[in-house]
Chains A and B, each alone.
Chain A
Amino acid sequence: GAVVSQHPSWVICKSGTSVKIECRSLDFQATTMFWYRQFPKQSLMLMATSNEGSKATYEQGVEKDKFLINHASLTLSTLTVTSAHPEDSSFYICSAMPRVYEQYFGPGTRLTVT
């Protein structure tokens, strides 16, 4: 149990376009999901907390207009990178909590902006 999926696994897009990444909890409901970003050889950095039915809470320094988060249902959260630029290239990972305190992570999405 406690499986989190992400789609796509990897994506290449041109500078200036938008990309949507989906995060799904497959065998549990999640009122809260989290989005992280990871650069090569670095740790995970929390970008935002996604709450079902309400606006996401963004960490300091994360542009909410650039990284749009929608928690459409109890099993789906989406992250849209708008007007992507090469510096947005990174590994994006989502997580969800099937139980209080314990987080499970998706396999990640590798975004390359050319």
Chain B
Amino acid sequence: GIQVEQSPPDLILQEGANSTLRCNFSDSVNNLQWFHQNPWGQLINLFYIPSGTKQNGRLSATTVATERYSLLYISSSQTTDSGVYFCAVQETSGSRLTFGEGTQLTVNP
């Protein structure tokens, strides 16, 4: 099956800093989603981005499907951005999502 690798596994920032999270995948995909899992476990949809670039406030994402990677940018980070960020992809066959191992982000005040 498809492999999904996220980096870095852990990231510690001071409030106000910017960061870039990366997701590499091993095969063509129909779907790529970025999620934020908050401390209570809820997965929050950030982006549905199988290709191209999207922006939502301080967050933006870019997927280069031909090179099989996606980037999530967080600007002017806030303590509420803390949590785990997951990238998940859906192969061209089937509907199942395959998750990466996540990036644990800690934003200190």
Contacts and interface: CB of A to CB of B under 8 A. Distances in A.
Label chain B's interface by main secondary structure.
strand
A42 B101 CA distance: 7
Identify the interface centre among A43, A45, A91, A108: most chain B CB within 10 Å of its CB.
A43
A105 B100 contact: no
Contacts of A85: none
B33 A102 contact: yes
Label chain A's interface by main secondary structure.
strand
B52 interface: no
A49 B96 CA distance: 8
Nearest to A2: B45
Interface residues of A, number: 22
B102 A34 contact: no
B3 interface: no
Contact of A103 (B33, B41, B102): B33
A43 B95 contact: no
Interface residues of B, number: 22
A44 B33 contact: no
B99 A43 contact: yes
B99 A44 contact: yes
B82 interface: no
Given A34-B96, A44-B99, A108 B31 contact: no
Contacts of B96: 34, 46, 49
Contacts of A21: none
Contact of B35 (A45, A105, A108): A105
Given A32-B95, A49-B95, 4 more contacts: A43-B86, A43-B100, A44-B43, A101-B90
Interface of B: 30-31, 33, 35, 40-43, 45, 48, 50, 86, 88, 90, 95-102
Interface of A: 2, 32, 34, 38, 42-46, 49, 91, 93, 95, 97, 101-105, 107-108, 110
